[in-house]
């Protein structure tokens, strides 16, 4: 199973069913929480264990905060949704700033951009990209934002998709 699959399954099981009060409550706690507050959730620990991130909370916290801000698993990759339209949903300058960001700043910028695209995207792909936020991931996002297929050299490596 890939990281993308694990993340998507976790999101659907714990946050995706927004008609459930438990899912809404968990998403709210993750959205409001910082550091230890986020890590104190059993569901977050379960995700960390499945992704082998138990000893790496610096990567885990921004990931779950971003996942908590997504409301629907639909519509394709987030960068493509941000770049759609005659006038892109997310301005090119804001997108460039997002591409340069890391860690908590990246989480903040993505969480601010999600309402622009109705808080909907491919959750598994978004989570895997955040988990493996590399120059290759950033380049893929740039191609996707402009609606172009990335070169084959930018496709995710097996290390990025499986753990």
In angstroms, the Cα distances linking 143 to 11, 25, 29, 85 are 26, 36, 34, 15
User: At residue 18, does pLDDT exceed 90?
Assistant: no
* CATH ID of 3-149, from 1.10.3720.10, 3.40.50.300, 1.10.520.40, 3.40.50.10490: 1.10.520.40
Q: Can you give the pLDDT at residue 163?
A: 45
What is this structure's pTM? Answer: 0.90
How do residues 71-96 score in pLDDT, each as one tens digit?
Answer: 999 989 999 999 998 999 999 999 99
Domains in the chain: boundaries: 3-149
SS3 content of the chain, % helix, strand, coil (to 5): 65, 5, 30
> How far is residue 134's CA from residue 126's CA, in Å, rounded to a whole number?
13
């Amino acid at each position: 199973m890939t990281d993308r699959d694990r993340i998507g399954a976790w999101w659907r099981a714990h946050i995706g069913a927004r008609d459930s009060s438990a899912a809404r409550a968990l998403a709210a706690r993750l959205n409001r929480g910082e550091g230890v507050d986020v890590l104190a959730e059993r569901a977050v620990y379960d995700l960390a264990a499945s992704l082998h991130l138990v000893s790496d909370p610096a990567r885990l916290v921004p990931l779950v905060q971003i996942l908590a801000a997504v409301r629907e698993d639909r519509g394709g990759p987030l960068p493509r949704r941000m770049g759609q339209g005659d006038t892109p949903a997310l301005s090119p300058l804001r997108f460039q700033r997002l591409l340069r960001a890391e860690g908590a700043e990246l989480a903040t910028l993505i969480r601010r951009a999600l309402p622009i695209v109705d808080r909907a995207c491919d959750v598994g792909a978004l989570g895997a990209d955040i988990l493996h936020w590399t120059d290759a991931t950033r380049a893929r996002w740039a191609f996707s934002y402009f609606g172009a297929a990335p070169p084959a050299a930018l496709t995710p490596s097996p290390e990025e998709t499986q753990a």
